[in-house]
Amino acid sequence: MPHVCFVALSGVRVVNPRLRELGLTMPGLRKRAEALTALPALGLLTLAGATSAPWTCSYHEAPEDSETLAEEIAARRPALVALSALTASIDAAYSLSDRLRARGLRTVIGGLHASMCPDEAALHADAVCVGDGEGAWPAILADALAGQLKPRYRVVADLDQAPLPRFDLVADKPRPRFTLQTERGCPLACEFCGASRLLGAFREKPLALIERELDAICALTPRPVIELADDNTFAGKRDHAALLNALGRRDVRWFTEADWRIGHDPRLVRQLAEAGCVQVLMGVESPFIAPTGMGPKQANVNEVLDAIENLQDAGVAVNACFIAGMDGETPQTLEDLADFILACPAADVQVTLQTPFPGTALRRRLLREGRLLQRPWSAYTLFDVTFVPERMTVSELESSFEQLVREVYSPQAQQQRATIRREVSRETELQTWE
């Protein structure tokens, strides 16, 4: 029977050697990296779910291209290898694809980066899938079986017909974490966002399909940990109560991403806690600088802080996410950002650098202004500088960001946030008891 290997080039990358060293020596920073790498590639698992007889399939994850990985895949004697990678790991995916093609294997590559740079990806693969992979997948399999792969595939997927992902392919991990998507994209249009609208318009998945996926995950492991792979879960117009009820009935622990506005809806805050939401990644971005396109997500500092307090008082931890290096930033504003984060009541924080990913409005603007640096895709890590800042030099931004990371993830700061997390957990236990 024909076999397809699904290969995810995963892992957190950092080019700056000083930041790499910080990642090795600071437990808090390392913990955030490990949490990100634990998430499976939902896009590939979805394609696996759309793979039917006579095809068989296998799922492979690796942080880098290697001869060992190529041999592992080739040993399966696949009729097709499907690769997916984000921008920082795309060069590794290209290298692996080149190795496999040299062995006579056919490859197809997809994902956000390949969708934004299809001509580049076509230099390293027999076919490129642009946009929603599941829409084009049946045609790709049929053409591969016939030995007639086309150079380019593009079909907009209908989420009403979304296949059930093959969650079983990652269920044998020691501590499996599952990803589930309830919507694709975001109705907002933040200039820097490298995901929300790149694959098309904002769409919501029908509740019946979400429940089917929840049941499939719960059948694999008791009380699973689930990350909702949404850009902004509650930004749409669906009935949030029905979704939260579906999650709550299954007694799962789950995480999601949303903006600060959910913290000002008392009913939604209560429902989140009752439905088993453990943590919300909240895009604060910057308390001092407002990038374009944020629309109603733009807020003043007090609104954001009140939202964090409201959620955590209900027992839902907040991971406040900040972006450094936006236009208007100076070494002083980065010092102010460090002070703000250290005083922030959030149970956890995430700090990244503004990064002009392919397809974003930010990249188009910086390209027009001649401010993009000649850096390889492997530098698009969210931790390395890839553009000329507006009000400081590249070296000033690098050194200021390093100092920001040192302060935000210092042992003292981590201890303070650990105390907050324990308090939030106790609040959840009290509510459950009551």
Per residue in 138-147, pLDDT (tens digit) is: 999 999 999 9
Answer whether residue 18 shows pLDDT above 60: yes
Record: fold of 171-433? pyruvate-formate lyase- activating enzyme (3.80.30)
Q: Is the CA virtual torsion 278, 217, 1, 47 positive or negative? A: negative
Answer whether residue 38 shows pLDDT above 50: yes
Alpha carbon distances (Å) from 370 to 355, 360, 373, 390: 15, 16, 9, 11
Which 8-state DSSP code applies to residue 6? E
For the chain, give the mean pLDDT. Answer: 90
Answer whether residue 393 shows pLDDT above 80: yes
Averaged pLDDT, 213-226: 94
pLDDT-derived band at 300 (thresholds 50, 70, 90) equals confident
Lowest mean pLDDT across 95-109, 207-221, 292-306 = 292-306
Between 111 and 23, the more confident residue is 111
pLDDT of 429 reads: 44
Element (H, E) at 383: none
Q: How many residues does the chain have?
A: 434
Task: Supply the DSSP string of 17-41, one letter for each residue.
Answer: HHHHHHHHH-HHHHHHHHHHHTS--
Do 171-433 and 3-158 fall under one CATH topology?
no
Lowest mean pLDDT across 8-17, 322-331, 393-402 = 8-17
Averaged pLDDT, 405-411: 91
Query: Percent of the chain at pLDDT above 70?
Result: 93
Q: How far apart are CA 334 and CA 345, in angstroms?
A: 19
Answer whether residue 33 shows pLDDT above 60: no
pLDDT of 139 reads: 96
Cβ-contact 255, 278 below 8 angstroms: yes
pLDDT of 30 reads: 58
**Residue 113, φ and ψ in degrees, nearest 5:** -65, -50
Answer whether residue 327 shows pLDDT above 70: yes
Answer whether residue 201 shows pLDDT above 90: no
Beta-carbon contacts of residue 81 (< 8 Å; ≥ 6 apart): 4, 5, 7, 73, 97, 100, 105, 106, 107, 108
Lowest mean pLDDT across 30-34, 99-103, 128-132, 322-326 = 30-34
If one counts every other C-beta atom within 10 angstroms of the C-beta of residue 390, the result is 15
**Every domain of the chain and the residues it spans:** 3-158, 171-433
One CATH from 3.40.50.1820, 3.40.50.280, 3.40.50.970, 3.30.460.80 for 3-158? 3.40.50.280
Lowest mean pLDDT across 3-7, 80-84, 236-240, 315-319 = 236-240
pLDDT of 155 reads: 86
pLDDT-derived band at 51 (thresholds 50, 70, 90) equals very high
Answer whether residue 433 shows pLDDT above 50: no
Answer whether residue 221 shows pLDDT above 50: yes
pLDDT of 376 reads: 94
If one counts every other C-beta atom within 10 angstroms of the C-beta of residue 376, the result is 11
Averaged pLDDT, 303-331: 95
Between 425 and 11, the more confident residue is 425
